[in-house]
Structure formats: structure tokens, C-alpha cells
Structure 1
Amino acid sequence: MEENFDLVARTRANYYTPGSPVQFVCVELLKGDVSGEHAVCLTFKNISKVTLTALEIHFKCKGVDGVILCEDQFEYRDLEVKPGELFGQDDAVFVTAKAITSVDVSLCNVYNGKRVVHLDAIKRVRLPAPRRLPPELQKALEARMNRSELKYQPQVFENGWYCACGAFHPKEEDTVYCSECGCDRILLQNALNTLLQPEAPAKAEPAPAKPLHAAAAGEEPTRVVNSFRPAASIGEEPTRIVPAAHTAPEPQPQAAEEHTRVLDAETRTRFPGKAVHTEPDEGTRVMPAPARRAVPEPPQPVEEDEEDYEDERDGVAEALIRWVPPITAIICAAVALCGFVYYQFLL
């Protein structure tokens, strides 16, 4: 007997898998209108540049007080999901009569024909909660963008960006357009910055001109200058400085296991489900932050005593000064004597 399932609650995923061609978007909780059983549906999106043909996941459904109601592996086969398309929202992964409070999903393998990408060993990254906009600012932003359900503040992180509709787009998606509401990220941020700017201050009335004859007796008269720069008109509005938008904090990786909780409610249709049992996955290990190394103090310069050095006398120079004059005199006398004998006796 066919049965219609109505949407009871819907919530977005609060984590993603870095480097994955598939993004886990949201989880939906449905209830049968006849049997009253609860069904769980998961929605995924192809954020790669190729067509995907299959996906294998591992999920846990928990009830009240964190009791695990089901832990299984589910396979999406015979797919033809093009880039940017959503899938999985028409397949129930688990049906139970008990109340479900949270669902945990881990991506295992993604297929593109015969090519497969293994994601079991990649640690998921926890996403910060989107920031809600004040009701007045939300209505103004929706009117300016001509769209509805823009409840959150757009934020840009190192690994992706949040749209005002609450959708997260990882950097692997490489787009500035939201695939769910159609907003442009840059136009959306500019519109919000414009709404956050303070209003222009009221124009001040000009002060009355001071009469020339009212100058003080001892005041020096104003000199007339031929070349001058014209002053700004009285009604000219001063230039305003727009403050830069605050940068949102970067999301930190979450080592511990995170669960997506069911929060909102909308409308939905019926669908069948299937599941294949597998072994439970291993919990994520906590990687402690590295301790900061102590910075050694710079060595203090060593002061050395100045030593006075005495100049040593040059022994060679002293000997030359002492013996060169007498030797020169002897040589000159010998030369003169030889010349005298040569001219007296030999000539």
C-alpha cells in the first residue's frame, strides 16, 4: 500500500568533507500520513566538474538520549548527476516508528563511471553556525535582492562561503552564485554593506559673514592675494568613509564526531527506501594543537676592556739614522782623495 509522507523537520549539515566532489547538504525527517512512521532522507549536491554515477555513505540515526536507532551503509546507484545538481532527496535511508533527534553522515566512495574517489580517510570539518540577521535588516535585504528567506549574514571563509539563505558553498565548488537561492555573492555583500552604512549627516547652516568694519582696532587687515584656490560650496556634502566589512573567523576542524540535528519544517512527498548493513566507522581522533616553543632570549653582548698598546720602536730605522751619515762622509772623503791623487800623480 502506497503512503504519503509529509515533511516534519529539515536542517542543514553542519560539517563538510574537504576535497570531496560531493557535498552533504541537508537532512529531512518525514512522517507517514497512515502508519505514522518516521523516514529519513538525505540531500547531496555534485560540486565537481564531471557527472557522478554512484555514491556510498555511512549514516547513524539517534533517538532520545543519544541512543543509536540505526547504523548502516547506503548506496545511491544508477545516478546521472550533472555538476551543480542535487540528488538523494527522494530516497529514504531509514524508516522507524521511534522519534529521531539527530543524523550523522559520512561519505565513503564517489563514482564517475569506473573511476572512484575514496573519502573514508578524510576528516570532516565542522562549520560555524550562520549568523542570523535582525528582522528589520532581513526585510530590507530581501527587498533589495528581490528574494525571500535571506535570514543570515553572508560570510566568507578560507574554505568556502555562506549565502544569506544559509547554504554553504565550499571552495571545491568554485562559484560565486548560490545554487539554492540564485544570489550573487558579491552583489549580496555589497547590498548588505550599503544597508549597514550610517545615514548622511544633516547639512549644517552656513555661519553669517563677519562685517569688515567689525574688526578689532589692533587687528591687521586682510591682504588681497591675486591667485587663490576657490573654497568648496556651502551646500557640498562631505565625503564619507565606508568602514571595511569585518572578516568572519575561519572555521576550525572538528575532530570529534558531529551530528546534524533536525530543526525546521516544510512540505514534502512520498518515496521508498533501501539500506545495506555494514561495519561501524571509526571515530575521529583529536589532534592536539602543537605547543608553542619558548623563544630564547638574545645573547647579551660581551664587553671587552680596552687595552692600550704602546708603539714599538723600529730597530732598523734607528740603525739607519745612526750609521748612514758617517758612512756617507767616509765614502765622500775616499772619492775626493782618489780624485786628488789621480790628478796630481797620474796626469
Structure 2
Amino acid sequence: MEENFNPVARTRANYYTPGSPVQFVCVELLKGDVSGEHAVCLTFKNISKVTLTALEIHFKCKGVDGVILCEDRFEYRDLEVKPGEMFGMDDAVFVTSKAITSVDVSLCNVYNGKRVVHLDAIKRVRLPAPKRLSAELEKALEVRMNRPELKYQPQVFENGWYCACGAFHPKEEDTVYCSECGCDRILLQNALNTLLQPEQPAQTEPELETPLAPQPEQEEPTRIMGAAPVQPAQEEPTRIMGAPRRPQPQEPAAEPTRMLDDGMREQFPDRAARAQAEEGTRVMPAASRRAQPAAQQPEPDYEDNEEYEDERDSVAETLIRWVPPITAVICAAVALCGFVYYQFVL
């Protein structure tokens, strides 16, 4: 009498065997619709680059309170499993009427024709539990990837990676495509990152537009301000600097020389004429005033000295009054010319 077995529960393996060409994927519990008995089916996947022909395993089925219901070996024979294909889901390794709570599976030997790989001595590695996505993020990821049952967060570890469907792919498999749901690992991670940061593109555009908008407004005042003061700033220093520079060639040592030579002016009239000519070139024309009192007063040399000191005071006043503003104007003109040259010429 034939009986149909319907799936009751399905649990993925939480460990794997490093270096094995076969991966234990999941255990499935089926229940007969007539007898009510439970059948245990195991699913394996070929993660190697060759075709597998046989597999030997050792399993334990435990019931309530961890009681071992069955412990035995099972052999999958006459196989022709190509790389990436799954097998074993149609073969029941144990049938019982009692409730089964867990199944432990150990890989023993894997065959490729006459070649065999012994896995009994390899220690199994426990896998971290996959992280469940929220309901909203789960639906959004399924729509974006056009795949059902994407309930978990993609994760990459040192020994492999988790797909969003919950399938674990060890590094021995060496693939970026999930053999169960067909998702690309890189595209899946990019889609999830986009869903986790939906507002990032909207925030990036205003940040780029904000500094670019006021740039024309900042450049226009610079060009307008640079055009007006260029010519006056260059002409004003030329006219102002001519006045204070004229008394600079008059050295104080020349005046004592003329005062000591008063007694010799009659003997050297040419020298006296040259002295009068030199006095006439001064900015302050005091030579004529010094000539008349020189004949009336007995000490013309001291009067001439006093007038010379008064003249120097006026020159110093002129320098103190005009040098600071002239210097400020020159500095401003030089800075402005350099700025205009940089903006319009370069």
C-alpha cells in the first residue's frame, strides 16, 4: 500500500565539515497521511568540481529530553551528482512513530568513481545563526530582487557566506551565486544597502548644490570693486611722493660748511654765487631772507642756523603728516592690482 508523506518541519544544518566536497544542507521531517509515521530525509549538496558517485554518513535521531531513538550508518549509492546539485531529499534514512526533536549527521566517506575522501577525522565547525530581517525590509528585498523567501540578512564570514534565503555557502564552494535561490551575493548586498539607506541620494544632491549657487554672487562684487580704484590708486602715489622726497638730498653737513666760510666769501665770489644758487633750489625759499639780516646783525651764522632748524621742522611735519596715508594707499593699490591681475589675467 502506497502512502504519501507530507512535509512537517524543515531545519537547516548549523554546522559544516571543512575541506569536504559534500555539504550537509538540511534535515526534513515528513509525516505519512495514512500511518502517521515520521520519516527523516537528509539533503546534501556537491560543492566540489567533480561528479560524486557515493556518500556514507553516520546519523543520530533524538526524541524528547535528548533520548536517542536511532543511531546508524546510511549509504547513498549509484549516484551521479554534478557540481552544485543537491541529493538525498527523496531517501528516508529513518522511519518512526515517535516525535523527533533533532538529528545529528556526520560525513564519513565521499566517492568519486574509485577515488574516496575520508572525512571521519575532520572536526565539524558550528555556524553562527543567520540574522532575521524585519517584515518591511523582507518584503522590500523580495520585490527588489524578484525572489521569494528572502528572510535573512546576507553575511560574509571567514569560512563562507550566508544568503538571504538562509543557505550557507562554505569557502570550498567558491561561488557568488546561491545554488538554492539563485541570488548573486554582490547584487544582494548592494540591494540591501540601498534599502537600509533610502534617503542618502536625496541628501547628497542639496549638499552639492548649496556651495555652487553663491559662487557667481561672490565673483561679481570682486570684479566691480577692482575696476574703479585701479587708475586713481596708481596716480595718487606719483603726485604725493614727489613733495616729501625733494628735501632728502639736503644734508645737514652742507649748512655748517657755508656758515664757516662767511669770511671767505669775499675772496671766493664764485663759491658764494654757487651757495646762493644752491639755496634758491630749496622747497622753502628762505635764502633771500637770510642775505639781508646777515649784513645788519653781527652774528648771521646763528640766525641762519635757526632758520635752517625751522625749515627742517616743517619738512618733518610734512613727512609725519603724509607718509602714513601715502604708505596705506600704496599698499592698498599694490594689493588691489595683484588681486585684479590674478582674477583677470591668470
Q: TM-score range by the shorter chain?
A: 0.5 to 0.7
Could you list the structure 1 runs, at least 4 aligned residues long, displaced by more than 6 angstroms after superposition.
Answer: 204-207, 209-212
Cα 1:228/1:48, change in 2 over 3 Å: farther
TM-fit CA distance, 1:90? 0.3
Matches within 5 A, 1:27-176: 27-176=27-176
Cα 1:195/1:228, change in 2 over 3 Å: farther
The separation in 2 between residues aligned to 1:68 and 1:16, in whole angstroms, is 22
TM-fit CA distance, 1:228? 4.8
Paired amino acid for 1:178: C
The separation in 2 between residues aligned to 1:163 and 1:151, in whole angstroms, is 9
The separation in 2 between residues aligned to 1:183 and 1:92, in whole angstroms, is 30
The separation in 2 between residues aligned to 1:58 and 1:228, in whole angstroms, is 83
Gaps of 5+ in 1: 213-219, 230-347
- What's the secondary structure of 2:73's corresponding residue? strand
> Are 2:13 and 1:13 aligned?
yes
Q: What's the % identity of the aligned pairs?
A: 86
> Are 2:201 and 1:195 aligned?
no
- What's the secondary structure of 1:50's corresponding residue? coil
Gaps of 5+ in 2: 222-331
Q: Deviations over 1:169-221 (max 9, x none)?
A: 001111110000101111111111222225133848878x7998xxxxxxx99
The separation in 1 between residues aligned to 2:94 and 2:102, in whole angstroms, is 13
TM-fit CA distance, 1:141? 1.4
More helix by percentage: 2
Paired amino acid for 1:75: E
Paired amino acid for 1:16: Y
TM-fit CA distance, 1:226? 4.6
TM-fit CA distance, 1:145? 1.0
Q: Which residue is equivalent to 1:235? A: none
- What's the secondary structure of 1:45's corresponding residue? strand
TM-fit CA distance, 1:137? 1.5
Matches within 5 A, 1:123-272: 123-197=123-197, 199=199, 200-201=202-203, 203=206, 225-228=340-343
The separation in 2 between residues aligned to 1:225 and 1:155, in whole angstroms, is 59
Paired amino acid for 2:57: I
Query: TM-score w.r.t. structure 2 length?
Result: 0.60
- What's the secondary structure of 1:65's corresponding residue? helix
The separation in 2 between residues aligned to 1:127 and 1:227, in whole angstroms, is 66
Paired amino acid for 1:10: R
> Rg bigger for which structure?
2
The separation in 1 between residues aligned to 2:153 and 2:170, in whole angstroms, is 17
The separation in 2 between residues aligned to 1:143 and 1:18, in whole angstroms, is 35
Query: TM-score w.r.t. structure 1 length?
Result: 0.60
Over the residues paired in the alignment, what is the CA RMSD in angstroms?
Answer: 2.5
TM-fit CA distance, 1:40? 0.2
The separation in 2 between residues aligned to 1:35 and 1:18, in whole angstroms, is 39
Paired amino acid for 2:2: E
